[in-house]
Structure 1
Amino acid sequence: METILIVESNTMMRLFLANYLENDHSVKAVKSPADALEWLEGNEVALILADYQIKNSKEYQELSQLKKQADLNTTPMIILTDNDKSEQRIHALELGVSDSISKPFSPVELSLRVNVALKSGQLRTRFQKVA
């Protein structure tokens, strides 16, 4: 079963995401990008689902580092942004994420986007192994 790493500072949202996604996936939920970096040292992950971090903050830099580390494994990342702010989506895309979802979101939309990102990551991994 593929592992999804959730990086979410809000406890209630982190629990909701973990409970919702663990029906179909193995899930690891942490509260900060620093915790995610530490966990990734000994573990593999198929997808990272992370809360938006304010650009130029320490957490944003850690999220950027997380994305760079995950790129070594062609791991897709989805960012959860606040209230459909285009500025946050732009910052997420600059970070190199696969997708962004605005809060509040439909759980069905979340599932669909997660599944698309996982398939995309699998394809990238296969192409990389062939090249």
Structure 2
Amino acid sequence: MYTPHTHRAGAGAYARLGVETQAMSASPHQLISMLFDGAITAVGMARHHMAARNIVAKGQAISKAVGIVDNGLKAGLDAKAGGEAGAALVANLSGLYDYVVRRLLQANLHDDAGALDEVESLLQGLASAWREIGTADR
């Protein structure tokens, strides 16, 4: 029998399949862009759930953003690329990602929408710079 729940579950599975297919055919540069997009989307969802006072969903969205930043963006940094200048850039980005994770955790603990705004702004700036690098390589 068709129910709204099965429709949502089917739509979610279809969306996941689309993202998985996109990720499988993406270049490493595009994968990083996808990580930024996912983190920014998760922060937006956390803001929405925070405003709606949905504590569980807010925590899940923030956890997703933390996971993307820590296990995706930060873990993907390569300190050996680019020599000494590259190592310095990696160290700076690693520190910035640590700061973003701390701000996300503070936002979760204190229902701090301002911290979410700050994180979103930082991630958007980094994502924009990353995309500019991609267009310069073409």
TM-score per shorter chain, which class?
Answer: 0.3 to 0.5
TM-score, normalised with respect to structure 1: 0.36
Where is the strand percentage greater, Structure 1 or Structure 2? 1
Larger RCO (CA within 8 A; separation ≥ 6): 2
